[in-house]
């Protein structure tokens, strides 16, 4: 097993206040709400404010991550924002977020795109910079205001949120160690969006077995093999959640129990916030994890690839948990939208 020096020293999440119920969307298209809900295992999804985007949400998540980490903004040496909804096609989200967070000018930066795994790729890049001592701290954010075409199945799940991680290489600051990371990548056209198009396209059932499952399971098996660990060695597992069904199947196929998976399933009430999905799932687990617990993590990005991580919590996590702007806390107050209001928020009307 490779030894990685660096790890997580803080995290922050942000979810918009607005929600729309799956049943509300279903009723517009005269579908049976119960059927859709059972099929996707999602009951409602997060909807951005009319004036929110990947930058504004990234700033919110970044701010709470910085405050949990207790690190000065000026010490951040790398900023990577992964998204499928960068506000510009050309003009970096990462530097806007960095500027508004007060990070100064001395940092590596680029915007990342790899469908829903852009940000986890950012984690790997930052770990590399940290382990080679090029930087001391790095900020990685997954942030999306995902668009779903009206009447398409993705409309029920495409949602919005942001999740930020501060990584560092000082052992006494690390709250979650990274024991290993690897990736499984290929050229698989399951889901894509052409330049200038508002909505992504996908190839239906092809997004399942040959895409999501092929990559998640291949990476998952690789990670287990290399580490020599068994599913039972882990307290929790986290997978990318395009809906509520896929991660449950992936977990089972790799030998994990529903109990190990359950705390990460933010998809039920948030939907799929694309680049923030797996990271949000991880944050939900970190909010409740105890010290010295191992967490199995595999993300997925269409096109396609999976980033796998084996995390282990340290006893420094406990005091940081108190500083978490947890998803649970943020979702105490919700404002439900009607379908026309949802369309307004998504700039569709």
Partner 1 sequence: MNMMTPVKIHRHQKETTSLIGKKGKIVVWTIIRIATKLFSSQAPYPVVIVKLENSEQIIGQLVDWQEEDLKAGRLVIAVLRRSHTEDKESVITYTIKFKPL
**Active-site residues: which are they?**
84, 116, 240
| Alpha-carbon gap, residue 6 to 321, rounded angstroms | 19
Nearer Cβ to partner 1 (56/94): 56
- Minimum CB–partner distance for residue 118 and partner 1 (Å): 20
- Minimum CB–partner distance for residue 333 and partner 1 (Å): 9
Helix (H, G, I), strand (E, B) or coil at 105: coil
Nearer Cβ to partner 1 (70/102): 102
- Minimum CB–partner distance for residue 109 and partner 1 (Å): 16
Nearer Cβ to partner 1 (313/326): 326
Q: Are 227 and 254 in contact (CB under 8 A)?
A: no
Q: Which whole-number Å values give the CA distances from 130 to 100, 231, 291, 296, 317, in the listed order? A: 23, 29, 23, 22, 20
Q: Which residues pair with 8 in a beta bridge?
A: 167, 176
Helix (H, G, I), strand (E, B) or coil at 151: coil
CA-wise closest residue to 118 among 269, 327, 324, 300: 300
Q: Are 138 and 166 in contact (CB under 8 A)?
A: yes
Pairing of β 18-21 and β 335-336: parallel
- Minimum CB–partner distance for residue 276 and partner 1 (Å): 18
| Residue 92 tokens, joined | 């970096």
- Minimum CB–partner distance for residue 17 and partner 1 (Å): 4
Nearer Cβ to partner 1 (49/255): 49
Helix (H, G, I), strand (E, B) or coil at 280: helix
Nearer Cβ to partner 1 (316/334): 334
- Minimum CB–partner distance for residue 101 and partner 1 (Å): 8
| Alpha-carbon gap, residue 349 to 346, rounded angstroms | 8
Nearer Cβ to partner 1 (17/125): 17
| Alpha-carbon gap, residue 31 to 19, rounded angstroms | 19
Positions touching partner 1 (CB under 8 A) are 16-18, 49-53, 55-56, 59-60, 63, 87-88, 96, 99-102, 335, 347
Peptide bond into 302 cis (omega under 30): no
Q: Which residues pair with 3 in a beta bridge?
A: none
């Amino acid at each position: 097993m490779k030894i990685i020096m660096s790890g997580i020293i803080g995290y922050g999440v942000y979810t918009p206040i607005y929600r729309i119920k799956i049943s509300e969307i279903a009723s517009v298209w005269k579908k049976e709400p119960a059927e859709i809900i059972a099929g996707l295992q999602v009951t409602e999804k997060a909807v951005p404010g009319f004036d929110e985007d990947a930058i504004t949400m990234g700033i919110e998540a970044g701010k709470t991550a910085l405050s949990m980490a207790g690190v000065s903004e000026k010490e951040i040496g790398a900023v990577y924002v992964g998204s499928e909804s960068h506000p510009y096609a050309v003009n970096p989200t990462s530097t806007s977020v960095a500027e508004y967070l007060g990070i100064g000018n001395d940092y590596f930066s680029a915007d990342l795109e790899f469908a829903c795994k852009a940000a986890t790729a950012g984690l790997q890049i930052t770990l590399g910079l940290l382990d080679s001592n090029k930087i001391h701290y790095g900020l990685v954010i997954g942030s999306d205001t995902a668009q779903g075409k009206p009447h398409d199945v993705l409309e029920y799940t495409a949602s919005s949120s942001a999740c930020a991680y501060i990584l560092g290489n000082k052992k006494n600051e690390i709250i979650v160690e990274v024991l290993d990371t690897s990736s499984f990548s290929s050229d698989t056209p399951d889901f894509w969006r052409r330049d200038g198009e508002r909505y992504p396209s996908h190839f239906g059932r092809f997004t399942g077995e040959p895409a999501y499952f092929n990559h998640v399971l291949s990476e998952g098996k690789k990670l287990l093999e290399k580490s020599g660990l068994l599913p039972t060695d882990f307290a929790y597992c986290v997978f990318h959640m395009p809906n509520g069904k896929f991660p449950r199947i992936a977990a089972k196929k790799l030998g994990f129990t529903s109990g190990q998976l359950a705390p990460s399933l933010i998809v039920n009430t948030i939907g799929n916030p694309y680049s923030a999905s797996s990271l949000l799932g991880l944050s939900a687990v970190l909010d409740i994890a105890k010290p010295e617990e191992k967490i199995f993590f595999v993300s997925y990005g269409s096109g396609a690839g999976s980033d796998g991580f084996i995390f282990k919590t340290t006893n420094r996590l406990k005091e940081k948990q108190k500083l978490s702007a947890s998803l649970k806390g943020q979702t105490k107050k919700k404002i439900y939208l009607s379908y026309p209001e949802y369309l307004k928020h998504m700039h569709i009307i």
